[in-house]
Structure 1
Amino acid sequence: MGLLNDKETWKKTILEIINHTNDRNQLRATYASMLVFSELEDQSGIWEETKDLFASDFLQRQKATEYNDEIYLDALDDIQEHVWNFGGGSITQYGLPLSRCGEKTSNIIRREKAYNKEKLTEEVKEKSLLLNSNQRLCYDTVLFRIENAQKYRHNGIFLDAPGGTGKSFVLNILLDTVRSQGKIALAVASSGIASTVLHGGRTAHNMFKIPLMDYNEMCACSIKKNSELAKLLSMTSLIVWDEVVMANKNTLATLDVSLRDILGVPGRFMGGIVFVCAGDFHQILPVIRGGGMNDELEYCIKSGYFWDDLLKLELTRNVRLKADDAKNNIFAKNLLALGRGESGPVKLPEKFGIVVETRKELVDKVYDNLEENHLNASYFEKRDIISPTNDDVDRINLMVYDKSEEPEKVYMSVDTAMEEVTDIQTSSHVETESRKCHHGYEEYMPSQVV
């Protein structure tokens, strides 16, 4: 509707930010976010009117008395870096002057090109020898697809890999192999924890700017065609998405539609990039708030329009099974049978553990001799009580605290200081003293940051 195209609106916004923070880096980052995501019109006028505000910290760092071109370039360099981090392009496209790094490669591209090819080649050579025949087939199939990507209309591959079959091992070798060849391979996962397992992994929402959306809708990724992220995607040979079974089918559909549009290949899945998604349907499906089993099935990737066209690969050999470990082998086989619905009700062995009747008895069994070990870190590292509800966690924590004879200490902090209070100390070695806060005097003991 053009309501935000008025230059004065954005200038007032910048001045409002300045009134709320003295952090000029935060100001520049917020401004960069405006440039990338708000589709602002020509910013040359706003920059000329407010550039002193954007560069004031650089003036202080250089201990200068007057602004000069070097100081303004420092501010422009910082804005350019923030714009790149948000997936934008050169700031000149928004009407700002060219920065020193304006013609250089952006952070997002440098990050994916910074891998040591020689080192990765050696690691791939060693690790590829460890692949079993099942893993080798998957590995070779994906590499063949990458080498012959143009021959296939649909380069989507689903790797079905139950726990223990070496899924992460195979995915990481694939990533390392592609990167050792000087090509771009992007690694993402549906959750933050899963992304840490992949080499160079990030969450899919972070990497592809996938918006948070309702379960039944499709949106577009926040990627502009002239952005640095779009350039990176145009250079990409492989995308790996782990733990994909817990992703909503519309999330993948959103990425598919966006890549087709960004890369200008409307007739090819994921814009023609070889796309390997992996997961285990024995594990969690998409979590639908307030939904039931039917909803989970409806929004599972198997219900997506792209599912039938995915090439299905499978890892079946459990690499954790060992000939001399009969108990663990039985457990692994029973676990798979349970996930496939091939086993009946689960029965725990009679000597599985110690049965307790009350929470107090549970705490006494797990935290025995707590009085003698309450300052022993290794004692607590070896003990855990897992509970499905936070209420039980709170009750059990209080019971554990009560078993300790150490006197309780409360470390107070000032959350809101009165205007006249200007001498609040932050040293970790000051004595206990009183500080006035918005709800009266409280004991202030900053012996350490907690």
Structure 2
Amino acid sequence: MPKPTQEGIDHSNRFITEEKNYNRDKLREDHDEWVNKMTSEQKGIYDEIIGAVLENSGGVFFVYGFGGTGKTFMWKTLSAAVRMRGLISVNVASSGIASLLLEGGRTAHSRFGIPIHPDDFTTCHIVPNSDLANMLKEASLIIWDEAPMMSRYCFESLDRSLNDVIGNVDGKPFGGKVVVFGGDFRQVLPVIHGAGRAEIVLAALNSSYLWEHCKVLTLTKNMRLMANDLDKDEAEKIKEFSDWLLAVGDGRVSEPNDGEVLIDIPEDLLIKDVNDPIEAIIKAVYGELDLLQPNNDPKFFQERAILCPRNSDVNTINDIMLEKLNGKNYVLIL
């Protein structure tokens, strides 16, 4: 058999090619539109971060804001501002679902090769002079969404790896790259099996040595309340629910308190007067149970979900739901 020739083979860095494979004209058009929609505090944060990118001065920022303040909108606009200039913006998130909201997003573990069990001494699986290492060297901005839910050792492992790969001699964190974290510490913190409050707090990002290098930029305005298509009653309900969530997250419920209180759930969020709670919540989310058989609308299940705090609840509800669907069950054995 004849040997294949090298002609036509692309020897370029696939990571760099992937990160630069964007329509710059379309990005510029979208970017200009999004910048005009920014609030004053969003524009201030945008100017500071993009200024650090263009000046190549490095810096670590944490964009802190509760749900609805426009963090994802910020990531989209920042990425467009970098990519329309032909530069690289690496977008990652702590979970797969959150990464889907980012243009070109990946999970942090996938993109950086973070060890499954990181500690004080681990580094990421980034081989010096590899395609991934060279892409990270060339990157102008790293955006990491939902950062508070990751262990601080993940960020420290990336810091050690970038300093090693880039050859940082200035002592700047992350090899002198501009890194933007985002999230809300009121939400899910690192999940550690069998850990108590102290262990979880000590594993959070703001317990890391990197936190002293972070400049915290705060978003406070609820963008969902500023939508033009909301009527007065709907806007009032969203505001009331948002304020209640913030009060719970800030520990302002049933003040004065010592940090442990009973939280009264608003009446409109409760499902009452039921004999079987699981059947009741399925009915509340999916409607009458006989509507499940059959339902040919592909968006019917995509637009509905039941979130559970424990895996045992997930398994119970999944078993009940599968029993109500027509067709055969298939078990995938890995």
Same fold (TM over 0.5): yes
Report the residue type matching 1:245 in the other structure: P
Change (3 A) 1:107 1:101: farther
- The alignment-based identity, stated in percent, is 36
Q: Does 1:249 align with 2:152?
A: yes
1:304 aligns with 2:208: yes
Partner-residue secondary structure (3-state), 2:126: coil
Does 2:22 match 1:115?
yes
Give TM-score scaled by structure 1 length.
0.63
How far off is 1:102 after superposition? 6.7
Equivalence for 1:135: 42
Aligned to 2:166: 263
> TM-score, normalization: structure 2?
0.83
Compare 128-137 and 285-294 and name the one that shifted more.
Answer: 285-294
Q: Deviations over 1:267-323 (max 9, x none)?
A: 221111111111110111111122111111111111111111211111111111258
Instruction: Please list, as runs of the form range in 1=range in 2, the aligned pairs for 1:284-299 lying within 5 A after superposition.
Output: 284-299=188-203
Contact 2:123–2:157 (Cα < 8 Å) also in 1: yes
Confirm or deny that 1:68 pairs with 2:13.
no
Which stretch has the larger CA shift, 265-274 or 159-168?
Answer: 265-274
Distance, in Å, in 1 between the alignment partners of 2:137 and 2:278 is: 60
Structure 1 residue 265 displacement after superposition = 1.1
1:144 maps to which of 41, 51, 59: 51
Code of the residue aligned with 1:260 in structure 2: it is: N
Distance 1:280 1:403 in 2: 38
1:149–1:155 contact (8 Å) kept in structure 2: no
Question: What is the distance in 2 between the residues matched to 1:134 and 1:209?
Answer: 34
CA contact (8 A) 1:359 1:396 kept: no
Does the CA-based 8 Å contact 1:190-1:203 persist in structure 2?
A: yes
Shift of 1:248: 1.1
**Higher relative contact order, chain-length normalized (CA < 8 Å, sep 6+):** 2
Aligned length: 315
Give the equivalent residue in structure 1 for 2:275: 357
| Amino acid corresponding to residue 133 of structure 2 in structure 1 | A
AA at the equivalent of 1:299? A
Q: 2:263 aligns with which of 330, 346, 352?
A: 346
Residues 27, 84 of structure 2: 8 Å contact kept: yes
Shift of 1:369: 5.7
Instruction: Please list the CA deviations of residues 169-213 of structure 1 after superposition, one character each: whole Å capped at 9, or x if unmatched.
Output: 011100111000111111111111111111111111211122222
Aligned ranges for residues 299-338 of structure 1 at < 5 Å? 299-322=203-226, 324=232, 325-338=235-248
Query: Could you tell me which amino acid in structure 2 is paired with residue 122 of structure 1?
Result: E
- Aligned residue for 2:168, secondary structure, equals coil
Stretches of structure 2 that go unaligned for 5 or more consecutive residues are 255-261
Residue from 295, 300, 305 that aligns with 1:376: 295
Residues 1:353 and 1:182: Cα distance change in structure 2 (over 3 Å): same
Once the 2 structures are TM-superposed, how far is the Cα of residue 354 of structure 1 from its aligned partner?
A: 3.5
Within 1, Cα distance between the matches of 2:192 and 2:198? 10
Quote the offset at 1:395 in angstroms.
5.5
1:268 counterpart letter in structure 2: K
Q: What is residue 208 of structure 1 aligned with on the other side? A: 112
In structure 2, distance between residues paired with 1:403 and 1:414: 20
Assess, with a 3 A threshold, how the Cα gap between structure 1 residues 383 and 175 changes in structure 2: closer, same or farther: closer
How far apart, CA to CA, are the structure 1 residues paired with 2:292 and 2:210?
57
Max radius of gyration: which structure? 1
Q: How far, CA to CA, are the matches of 1:414 and 1:258 in structure 2? A: 37
Contact 1:246 1:300 in 2 (8 A): yes
Contact map agreement 1:363 1:399 (CA 8 A) in 2: no
Mapped partners of 1:207, 1:158: distance in 2: 20
- Answer yes or no: is the 8 Å Cα contact 1:321–1:332 preserved in 2: no
CA contact (8 A) 2:15 2:132 kept: yes
SS state at 2:132 partner: helix
* 2:76 equivalent among 172, 197, 219: 172
Contact 1:115 1:179 in 2 (8 A): yes
Partner of 2:122: 219
1:301 partner amino acid? L
What is the root-mean-square deviation of aligned Cα atoms in Å?
3.1
Q: Using the alignment, how far apart are the partners of 1:369 and 1:332 within structure 2? A: 29
